[in-house]
Homo-oligomer: A and B are copies of this chain.
């Protein structure tokens, strides 16, 4: 951790100076806001982390190309919900490019300075008449307090909008970071998509911003799971416009990482909390692994295990399932020195169950914010943390019945 003081504030992407945003309804969804615009007054440094899915949606391809064409500069992010513009072929590419072009002409910037994102149904074309109308309306509605509407406009059926902001004071001065995100709580679309957008009024060179964003995403948005699915449309963008007058250079890398993390972590956790059918937020901590990578691999296996997730849903302190998943995760695991804790209660250690503590653990599992921890028993110092949710019959209902 760097030497900085951070004060969480109520806010979002428009909390940092020099950003405006809007969220409008243009009719892509049957009801509700469905088009968001985030704009920096001055050209900002920009960074992006994209889905690794090989079936990438058109907006992902276009944003990646634009970021590269400008060497990491952007003025705006335009986002629609209700239609993913994925698996839509050449026409989908033309639509994503047109979204950037129309936004650029509304704002008077160059086309590659616009980043594009979409979320919603796969395999359906965007209605460009609606999108064009929406971009014009959003450009007219841009406001320094518009981040909250933007957060609502990128939702599909997320149960709540996800926003976060922080005021950071470091040796270099005071600046702000804000963000919005959407997660997976969608009834109509084919696929959950994770989108997140962060802004800061610190001045940061694009390469440094990209490096920091990637590091933070690894420990936040890449450390969450609802159902182990990676979408065709996932992306995270960061814009840094320097409006605070604070300049962060290479020597401030850890300040930048910490500042971004203050916003990205609550957004990521918010996505899990609002996961499809989720009733409990679960932090999975793995220690004693041979390496951090092995710890992450084990944490991911646990966080995605249907048997672990259903046990937690049922309030069952089933340490045996945690042992079994840790053992099959592919990471080194030494049963005789492994340990399992549910909350503060150690249920298995040194090869021995402590089932007399099960009632206490069952009581703990009645809560909604839970921690489960596994020591892999290798004596190594590898650790990892991930966030997941329980697996409920509601998840099945949402995903089995949404088109019937």
Proximity bits, A218-231, B CB within 8 Å = 1, else 0: 00000000011111
Q: How near does chain B come to A390, taking the closest CB pair, in angstroms?
A: 8
B401 in contact with A319 (CB, 8 Å): no
A102 at the interface (CB under 8 A from B): no
Instruction: Check: A325 CB closer than 8 A to any chain B CB.
Output: yes
Q: How many residues of A contact B (CB 8 A)?
A: 65
Which of B123, B316, B400 interacts with A313 by CB under 8 Å? Answer: B400
Could you list 22 A-B pairs, sorted by A, with CB under 8 Å? A53-B324, A54-B334, A55-B323, A56-B335, A87-B323, A87-B335, A121-B320, A123-B353, A190-B320, A190-B321, A191-B320, A191-B324, A229-B305, A229-B325, A230-B324, A310-B396, A310-B400, A313-B396, A313-B400, A315-B404, A391-B396, A396-B396
Quick check: is A369 within 8 A (CB to CB) of the other chain?
no
A318 to B404, CA, bound (A): 12
- Measured CB to CB, the closest approach of chain B to A395, in angstroms, equals 7
Q: Nearest Cβ in chain B — how far from A184, in angstroms?
A: 10
| A332: Cβ under 8 A from any B Cβ | yes
A376-404 vs B, Cβ < 8 Å mask (1 yes, 0 no): 00000000000000011101110111111
Report the bound CA distance from A305 to B192 in whole Å: 13
Please tell me which one of the listed residues B229, B310, B323, B352 contacts residue A324 in the complex, with CB atoms under 8 A apart. B229
Least Cβ–Cβ distance between A355 and chain B, in angstroms: 7
Given A123-B348, A351-B87, A395:B320 Cβ within 8 A: no
Is the CB–CB distance between A190 and B318 below 8 Å?
A: yes
A376 → chain B closest CB, angstroms: 9
- In the assembled complex, A104 has its CB within 8 A of some CB on chain B: no
Give A114-129 as 1s and 0s: 1 = Cβ < 8 Å from B's Cβ atoms. Answer: 0000000111000000
Q: Which of A54, A192, A316, A402 has the most CB of B within 10 A?
A: A54
Contact in complex: B400, A311 (CB < 8 Å): yes
CA distance A334 to B56 in the complex (A): 10
Contact B55 A335 (CB under 8 A): yes
CB neighbors of B among A271-320 (8 A): 304-307, 310-311, 313-316, 318-320
In the complex, chain A residues 74-109 whose Cβ is within 8 Å of any chain B Cβ: 86-87, 89-90
CA distance A271 to B332 in the complex (A): 29
| 12 other A-B residue contacts (CB within 8 Å) besides A55-B328, A191-B321 | A54-B328, A54-B332, A123-B319, A228-B306, A229-B324, A232-B323, A306-B306, A313-B400, A316-B402, A316-B404, A392-B400, A393-B400
- Whether B403 contacts A316 by the Cβ 8 Å rule is yes
Closest chain B CB from A173 CB (angstroms): 41
In the bound complex, what is the Cα–Cα distance between A52 and B301 (angstroms)? 15
Asked if A326 is at the interface (CB within 8 A of a chain B CB), the reply is: yes
Kindly state whether residue A327 has any CB partner on chain B within 8 Å.
yes
B324 touching A190, Cβ below 8 Å: yes
Q: Is A237 an interface residue (CB 8 A)?
A: no
For A227, A327, A333, the residue with the greatest tally of chain B CB atoms inside 10 Å of its CB is A327
